[in-house]
Amino acid sequence: MTRRSVLTATVVLILGALAPAILAAADPAAVINNLGNRALEVLGKNATPAQRVARFHELFREDFDVPGIARFVLGRYWKTATTEQQQEFIKLFEDYIALVYSSQLAAYSGETLKVTGSRADPQGAIVASEIIRPAGTPPVKVEWHLADQNGTYKIRDVAVDGISMAVTQRSEFASVIQRNGGQVQGLIAMLREKTASGLPR
Amino acid sequence: MNLRPRSLVFSKLLLLLVLILPGCAAREGNSQLGAAEAEDFNDPFEDTNRAIFDFNQVVDRNVLVPVAKAYRTVLPDPVRDSLRDFLRNLRAPLIFVNNTLQGDFDLAGQTFARFTLNSTLGVGGLIDVAGRWGQLPYHEQDLGVTFGVWGIPEGPYLVVPVLGPSDPRDLVGQVGEGFGDPWNILVTGNPWTLYWIPYVRGGVSGIDQRSRYIETLADIERTSLDYYATIRSLYRQRRAALVRGERENLPPPASFSRNYGPGASVAVTTPPSRAAFVSEIPNASEVSRR
């Protein structure tokens, strides 16, 4: 066996071992499957609310395009905000989302996420999935909108039964800003208050 | 023709006027509102709507939720589900008409099969035989969606006292359905003339639905910065999704492409591989057809 063929074999072996990982990162459906599995850990029954929030933060940061979403939900007010306001908003928005969704997800029990298909989209990809609930209740249809960021997919939006979470958030934030005289600062103040209070029941 | 449904229609139209007129006056002074945004919210009567929304919240907290909680506590789950299935079965004739008006004859056939199976084997609709064992799940459908499928715009967002979020298209649809429902016509007509039955039916189905969203809505209210704005967005998106879902379900003529919302043009004549994918993806409507 020549040295060269040994080298080739090694390269092939390494590539073979790495390929699934690379493919997984480039396959939008795998991203969602992976997210579903890890979300199960987040929702683990033994997790305290604080742990849930902390783990949700991790998931959100790893799998979601947080700056992109933050920009989208601020809509036309993104441009009117100062750089400091934008930075603070991104941080508060992340805290807010972690609080809101980790508490909402805590209500779920025993549901599973099943990816049912995926298709290309000008922005990246859309992955269709179903949250399978206990017998008798129809599954909830969830569409994940992913943006292709240099080969890795990041979630931009989640549509539940056709309702976009990003659009809902943008509409609410725009309303808050408008009712505060068009000032982004008003929204930031409310977000600060809401996230500092930890949304007590 | 009996008078009751007519007077109901009339009172709802009157209500609509009462809602719209003060709203017109109230919005006049608020012209600094960005035009793009006003269009986005689609809520020219926001001040009036918010006032009614607040009123509805008081009713909800003090009447609807306590009653819904009691209903949920007193009746065991199977009984509640049975009642819901019965009420859903009563809606079958209207759903059938809507499927037909939308041109979705496949779905109309399913609705007919559901109604036949559930009314007989399912003991008058108390057991959803077709959904549970017949692969024919219930699907919600109403005249408002049909109008939407026909291309009639939703009109401005409205909050109706007690009934909650709506718009002219859905309100007219609701009134039309109340008027055209065969059971309502049957029980309020001769020889029975039992005018209270449609109200009891409406009340019970309202309480049943409310009882299924107690925690969800409480959670949304608790975490929202502006609950009114959140509900408005959720309602409008949900209705739009139902209309979109129905449109996508209709068998399209060959090489026909349609616009589904801003900037999204979907060619219906897709290559086989993509079509296979798309067909696996459920539409946005509540219940899958398979």
Mean pLDDT value across residues B175-192: 93
pLDDT tens-digit series, residues B97-116: 999 999 999 999 999 999 99
**CB nearest to B223's CB, from A175, A176, A199:** A199
Q: Which residues from A are below 8 Å from B224, CB to CB? A: 172
> What is the per-residue pLDDT for A199?
53
User: Looking at chain B, which residue has its C-alpha nearest residue A118?
Assistant: B277
- The rounded mean pLDDT for chain B is 79
Phi, psi dihedrals of residue B125, rounded to the nearest 5°: 95, 0
Q: Which of A99-108, A167-176, B12-21, B23-32 has the lowest mean pLDDT?
A: B23-32
Residue A99 sits at the vertex; the CA angle it makes with A141 and A112, to the nearest 5 degrees, is 30
- Whole-angstrom distance, CA of residue B197 vs CA of residue B231: 30
- In total, the C-beta contacts within 8 angstroms joining chain A to chain B are 100
pTM: 0.79
Mean pLDDT value across residues B126-147: 92
User: Looking at chain B, which residue has its C-alpha nearest residue A122?
Assistant: B264
Mean pLDDT value across residues B161-169: 96
> What is the per-residue pLDDT for B37?
54
Q: Are strands A163-164 and B265-267 parallel, antiparallel or unpaired?
A: unpaired
**CB nearest to A161's CB, from B230, B232, B284:** B284
> If we measure between CA atoms, which residue out of B288, B87, B54, B43 comes closest to residue B203?
B87
**CB nearest to A119's CB, from B33, B41, B278:** B278
Q: Which residues of A touch B (CB under 8 A)?
A: 76, 99-100, 103-104, 107, 116-119, 128, 130, 136, 138-139, 141, 143, 159, 161-164, 167-168, 171-176, 178-179, 187, 190-191, 194, 199, 201
Q: Do A163 and B225 touch (CB under 8 A)?
A: no
Low-confidence ranges of chain A (pLDDT < 50): 1, 18-24, 200-201
Please report the ipTM that was assigned to this predicted complex.
0.83
Higher pLDDT, A37 or B65: B65
Q: What b/e string do you get for B95-110 counting C-beta neighbours within 10 Å, with b at 16 or more?
A: bbbbbbbbbbeebbeb
